[in-house]
Amino acid sequence: METNPHKVPQDFFENQRREILASVLKSDTSMAKKPARIYSLLRPTLAVAASLAGIFFLTLFINEITPKECKTFACLLESTDLSDLSETEEATLEEWEYELYEDIDIEQLENLIQ
Amino acid sequence: MKVDIIKCDDKDLVSRILDERTKERAFSELLGYMHEPIYFHLRKMLGNHDDAADATQNTFIQFHTSLSGFKFKSKLATWIYTVATRKGIDIIRKRKAFVSIEDAEYQLKSDVYFDGNEASTKLHAAILTLPAKQRAVFILKYFEDLDYKSISEATGTSVGALKASFHHAKEKIKPLLISQV
C-alpha cells in the first residue's frame, strides 16, 4: 500500500474532534431544553379550536333556522316576515286593519279630546 | 477488513453514546476509531482538504442525529462509511467535473496538503476524473478494502452493478496511468 500522500494542517484532527463533540453535545442540550415538540402540542390545540369554531357556526346556523322566542311585541313584529304568513293570515291581516279603523268613531274621539 | 476497525461491540458503543452520562466519552471513543479513516476516505473522493473537512464534520453530526434509528443490520463502521460516501457523492455531483487528468493533476500539485510522488499523483488524479459513484466504489474497494456487500450498502448499488462499476473504473484508470509514464 502506498504512503498516504494526503496531509492535513497541524492539529486538524484534534481541533475538529473538539468541534464535532461540541456540536453533538450542544444539540443534545438544546433538544433536552426544548418543550414538547410544537407539532405534538399543535394537533390537540387545533382540534379544540376547530371544535369550538364548529360549535359557533352551528349555533349561528341553528339560530337562523329556528324562530326567535320574542318577549316583546316589537320583536314579534320584526321577526315576522310577511312572506312567512300563510294566505289566511295575510287575508286576516287586511281585515284587521279595516276593523281597526271601523272601531274608531271619530266623533267620539273628538268628544274625548274636548 | 476495514469494517472491523471499531474494536468494541457495536451495540455497547451505541448504547453508551445514547446514554447522557456516558455520551461524551463514548463519542470520543468512536471518533478515535473512525475520524481519520472517514476523513481520508472523503479526501480521496473530493480531492481537497477543505471539502473533505466539511464533509467529515457533517458526516459525524448526521450520524449522531440518526443514531437512535440504527437497527444494527450492518456493522456500525459500514453505516458511517455509508453516510460519508453519500455525502461525498452529493458534493461531487454538485461540482463541475474535471475534464481531463491534467486538470486534476494540476489541482493536486497545487495543493499544499498533497505530498505524493509522481505515481501517486497520477493515480489520485485519475481517480478524480471518475464519475461520482464509480469513484466511490473504486476508493472503497481499492483503498478501504471493503467487501462488496458493505460497498453495496454504502453506495446504494447492487453487488453485480458494483463489480461492473469497479471493473470499468479500473479500465478507465489504467490507460491514464500508462499514458503518463
Tens of each residue's pLDDT in chain B, 181 residues: 456 788 889 999 999 999 999 999 999 999 999 999 999 999 999 999 999 999 999 999 999 999 988 999 989 999 999 999 999 999 998 887 766 888 999 999 999 999 999 989 999 999 999 999 999 999 999 998 889 988 998 888 899 999 999 999 999 888 887 765 4
Q: Which residue has the higher pLDDT, B18 or A90?
A: B18
Confidence of residue A105 (pLDDT cuts 50, 70, 90): low
Max distance between CA atoms of chain B, in angstroms, equals 57
**CB B52, CB B46: distance < 8 Å:** yes
Distance from CA of A45 to the nearest CA of B (A): 29
Q: By the CB < 8 Å criterion, does A114 face chain B?
A: no
For residue B108, give the nearest of B56, B44, B57, B36 by alpha carbon: B44
The 3-state DSSP class for residue A99 equals helix
Q: Which residue has the higher pLDDT, A69 or B60?
A: B60
Q: By the CB < 8 Å criterion, does A48 face chain B?
A: no
DSSP-derived letter for residue A6 is B
Q: By the CB < 8 Å criterion, does A22 face chain B?
A: no
The whole-angstrom separation of Cα B131 and Cα B112 is: 25
pLDDT value at residue B179: 64
Q: Please give the backbone phi and psi of residue A68, each rounded to the nearest 5 degrees, phi first.
A: -75, 150
Provide the ipTM: 0.89
Do the Cβ atoms of B57 and A17 come within 8 Å? no
The whole-angstrom separation of Cα A9 and Cα A11 is: 6
pLDDT value at residue B92: 92
pLDDT value at residue A62: 73
Write down the mean pLDDT value for chain A.
68
Do the Cβ atoms of A5 and B117 come within 8 Å? yes
pLDDT value at residue A97: 46
pLDDT value at residue B138: 93
Q: How many CB atoms lie within 10 A of CB B53?
A: 21
The whole-angstrom separation of Cα B60 and Cα A3 is: 26
Q: By the CB < 8 Å criterion, does B122 face chain A?
A: no
For residue B120, give the nearest of A5, A8, A21 by CB distance: A5
Confidence of residue A57 (pLDDT cuts 50, 70, 90): confident
Phi-psi domain of B146 (left: phi exceeds 0; alpha: psi -120 through 50; beta: other): beta
DSSP-derived letter for residue A4 is P
What is the mean predicted confidence (pLDDT) over A83-97?
54
For residue B61, give the nearest of A3, A4, A23 by CB distance: A23
DSSP-derived letter for residue B95 is S
